[in-house]
């Protein structure tokens, strides 16, 4: 429409003027994905944020992702279209409670999934994402006791893939925990040739029904390279936009939330809109600021992740 064309023209003008890069996660609404300079999973987005020459990073994702960008690029201005775009995993793991958990398990090596606050990262030994979690755990000495926070589903999956026991924090993602086995089985019966692609944040009983499990990028890559032409996609449906762009001839089926509503969309990711992207570029606000001491402490385990997974 004309309105969105004007919006995009204005965004493009300001993006240039401010020397800004727009980074978007795969769970962003399609209109935002379409104007982004770079789209990726959490790991790729953090790499990109650490490598860019831009002066300004507009992070179209959620709060912890913008924090991660700031931790890696402290001299850049990091803007978020909506400051309130949070994440249940990060919210469920408050730094004080996490500290108690650490105290209860002395001598444990603490791995935190990147979906947590900078304050929790600062208390961790190593950060991981869903795309490198298994590899990182496999690289650690066998006898080292490991504590894993905050996603228990990802943690359980890593336990199964690595054959190691982890001490798990009980966090969960509201989007992935909402998928239910019965609706998935119904879809499988209706589409017997379809492959089931799942994000490891899903519960174990759903992962047991999956043909392939991985981060958003890995799911995208799998759907492109598979010989099958139909997929049941067990994650936030934003990723389906890229799957369709990469291979429009294949069929991608989303799994409804509990009551058939669109609660398979992440309400936080979807708080961002083109209007808000334009607005933050105009006002240079909301901007993410971070205490330098926390940043330095959070940088260590994050840098270690990047070094261990290149
Ligand atoms: P990815 O790292 O797979 O992109 O996941 C991010 C996320 O928030 C999943 O819910
Ligand atoms: Fe957090 Fe889940 Fe939303 Fe990802 S999809 S940002 S894990 S609430």
Atom of ligand 1 nearest to the CA of 269: 8
Would you say 130 and 157 are in contact if contact means Cβ atoms under 8 Å apart? Answer: no
State how far the Cα of 32 lies from the Cα of 244, in Å rounded to an integer.
Answer: 16
Please state whether beta strands 38-40 and 77-79 pair in parallel, antiparallel, or not at all (unpaired): unpaired
* 111 in the same domain as 74: no
- Report the domain count for the chain: 3
Q: Is the pLDDT of residue 261 over 70?
A: no
CATH number of the domain that 100 lies in?
Answer: 3.40.50.10800
DSSP string, 109-167: EEEEESSS-HHHHTT-SEEE-TTTHHHHHHHS-TT--EEEESBHHHHHHHHHHHT--EE
Cα–Cα distance, 41 to 43 (Å, whole number): 6
Question: 107 to each of 34, 48, 169, 267, how far by Cα in Å?
Answer: 46, 33, 16, 37
Give 59's DSSP letter. Answer: E
pLDDT exceeds 80 at position 5: yes
Q: Which ligand is closest in space to the CA of residue 173?
A: 2
pLDDT at 218 over 90: yes
Domain assignment present for residue 261? The answer is no
210 CA to middle of ligand 1, Å? 17
CB atoms within 10 A of CB 238: 23
Work out the mean pLDDT of the chain and round it to a whole number: 96
87 CB less than 6 Å from ligand 2? yes
Residues 301, 279 within the same domain: no
- Closest residue to atom 3 of ligand 2, CA basis: 266
Verify that 60 and 115 share a domain, yes or no. Answer: no
Sign of the Cα pseudo-torsion (15, 30, 276, 287, in order): negative
Same domain, 190 and 246: yes
Distance 89 CA to ligand 2 centre (A): 7
pLDDT value of residue 4? 86
Residue 269 Cβ inside 6 Å of ligand 2? The answer reads yes
Half-sphere exposure of residue 281: CA atoms within 13 angstroms, side-chain side: 27
User: For residue 42, what pLDDT band results from cuts at 50, 70 and 90?
Assistant: very high
Both 209 and 227 in a single domain?
yes
Give me the mean pLDDT over the 113-142 stretch.
98
Look at residue 260 and tell me whether its pLDDT is greater than 70: no
- Residues with Cβ within 8 Å of 226's Cβ and at least 6 positions away in sequence, in order, are 195
Residues 156 and 134 in one domain: yes
Q: Is 81 marked as binding a ligand? A: no
pLDDT of residue 258: 66
pLDDT for 1 equals: 80
Q: Does 117 contact ligand 2 (Cβ within 6 A)? A: no
Give the tokens for residue 207.
Answer: 């992962």
Phi and psi, residue 283, nearest 5°: -85, -15
Q: What pLDDT does 256 receive?
A: 81
Task: Take atom 5 of ligand 2 and give the residue whose Cα is closest.
Answer: 266
Q: Could you tell me if the CB of 268 is within 6 A of ligand 2?
A: yes
Q: What is the pLDDT of residue 295?
A: 98
- The confidence score (pLDDT) of residue 310 equals 72
How confident is residue 90, by pLDDT bands cut at 50, 70 and 90?
Answer: very high
Mean per-residue pLDDT, 111-120:
98
How does strand 166-168 pair with strand 146-149?
A: parallel
- Ligand in nearest proximity to the CA of 24: 1
Residue nearest (by alpha carbon) to ligand 1 atom 8: 115
Residue 262 lies in a domain: no
264: in domain = no
Residues 187 and 159 in one domain: no
- How high is the pLDDT of residue 141? 97
Ligand 1 proximity of 115 Cβ (cutoff 6 Å): yes
Q: Please check whether residue 160 lies inside any domain of the structure.
A: yes
Is residue 114 within 6 Å of ligand 2 at its C-beta? no
Question: Is residue 133 included in any domain, yes or no?
Answer: yes
Domain membership of residue 279 (yes or no) is: yes
Q: Does a structural domain hold residue 19?
A: yes
**pLDDT recorded at residue 8:** 97
Long-range contacts of 163-167 (CB under 8 A, 24+ apart): 164/137, 166/111, 166/137, 167/105, 167/108
C-alpha of residue 13 to centroid of ligand 2, in Å: 31
The answer to whether 25 is annotated as binding is yes
CB 62 within 8 A of CB 234: no
Asked if 202 contacts 179 with a C-beta cutoff of 8 angstroms, the reply is: yes
Cα–Cα distance measured from residue 124 to residue 164, given in angstroms and rounded to the nearest whole number: 19
Q: Is there a binding annotation on residue 266?
A: yes
| Together in a domain, 8 and 61 | yes
Percent of the chain residues topping a pLDDT of 90: 93
* Same domain membership, residue 134 and residue 65: no
Report the separation in Å between the CA atom of 51 and the middle of ligand 2, taken as the mean of its atom positions.
24
What is the average pLDDT across 47-76?
A: 96
Question: In the predicted model, what is the mean pLDDT of residues 247-275?
Answer: 88
Helices (H) and strands (E) in the chain, counts: 16, 12
Pair 149, 180 in one domain: no
Report the alpha-carbon distance of residue 11 to residue 56 in Å, rounded: 13
Which ligand has the shortest distance to the CA of 26?
1
* Distance of alpha carbon 145 from alpha carbon 295, whole angstroms: 26
User: What's the mean pLDDT in 2-19?
Assistant: 95
Find out whether the beta carbon of 79 lies less than 6 Å from any atom of ligand 2.
no
Q: Provide the pLDDT for residue 187.
A: 95
Domain enclosing residue 79, as ranges: 2-85+269-290
**Which ligand is located closest to the Cα atom of residue 87?**
2
- Do 23 and 162 fall into the same domain? no
CB neighbour list of residue 62: distance below 8 Å, 6 or more residues apart: 25, 85, 86, 87, 90, 266, 268, 269
Does 115 count as an annotated binding residue?
yes
Same domain, 97 and 231: no
pLDDT at 273 over 80: yes
Q: Write out pLDDT tens, residues 185-200.
A: 999 999 999 999 999 9
With respect to residue 26, please indicate whether it lies within any of the assigned structural domains. yes
Whether pLDDT at 259 is above 70: no
Ligand 1: does its nearest atom lie under 6 Å from the Cβ of 129?
Answer: yes
């Amino acid at each position: 429409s004309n309105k969105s064309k004007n919006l995009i023209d204005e965004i493009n003008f300001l993006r240039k003027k401010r020397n800004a890069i727009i980074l978007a996660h795969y769970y962003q609404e399609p209109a935002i994905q379409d104007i982004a300079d770079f789209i990726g999973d959490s790991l790729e987005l953090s790499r990109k944020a650490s490598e860019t020459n831009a002066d300004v990073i507009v992070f179209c994702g959620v709060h912890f992702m913008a924090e991660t960008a700031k931790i890696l690029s402290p001299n850049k201005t990091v803007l978020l279209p909506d400051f309130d775009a949070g994440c249940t995993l990060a919210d469920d793991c408050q730094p004080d409670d996490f500290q108690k958990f650490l105290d209860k398990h002395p001598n444990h090596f603490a791995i935190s999934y990147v979906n947590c606050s900078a304050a929790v990262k600062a208390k961790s030994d190593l950060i991981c994402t869903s795309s490198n979690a298994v590899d990182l755990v496999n690289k650690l000495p066998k006898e080292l006791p490991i504590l894993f926070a905050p996603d228990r589903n990802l943690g359980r999956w890593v336990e199964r893939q690595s054959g190691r026991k982890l001490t798990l924090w009980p966090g969960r993602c509201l989007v992935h925990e909402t998928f239910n086995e019965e609706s998935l089985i119904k879809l499988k019966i209706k589409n017997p040739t379809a492959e089931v692609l799942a994000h490891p944040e899903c519960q174990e009983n759903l992962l047991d029904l999956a043909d392939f499990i991985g981060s958003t990028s890995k799911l995208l890559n799998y759907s492109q390279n598979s010989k099958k032409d139909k997929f049941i996609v067990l994650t936030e449906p934003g990723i389906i936009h890229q799957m369709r762009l990469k291979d429009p001839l294949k069929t991608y089926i989303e799994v409804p939330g509990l009551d058939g509503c669109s609660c398979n969309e992440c309400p936080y990711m979807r708080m961002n809109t083109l209007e808000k992207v334009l607005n933050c570029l105009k006002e240079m606000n909301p901007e993410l600021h971070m205490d330098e001491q926390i940043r330095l402490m959070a940088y260590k385990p994050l840098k270690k992740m990047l070094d261990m997974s290149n």
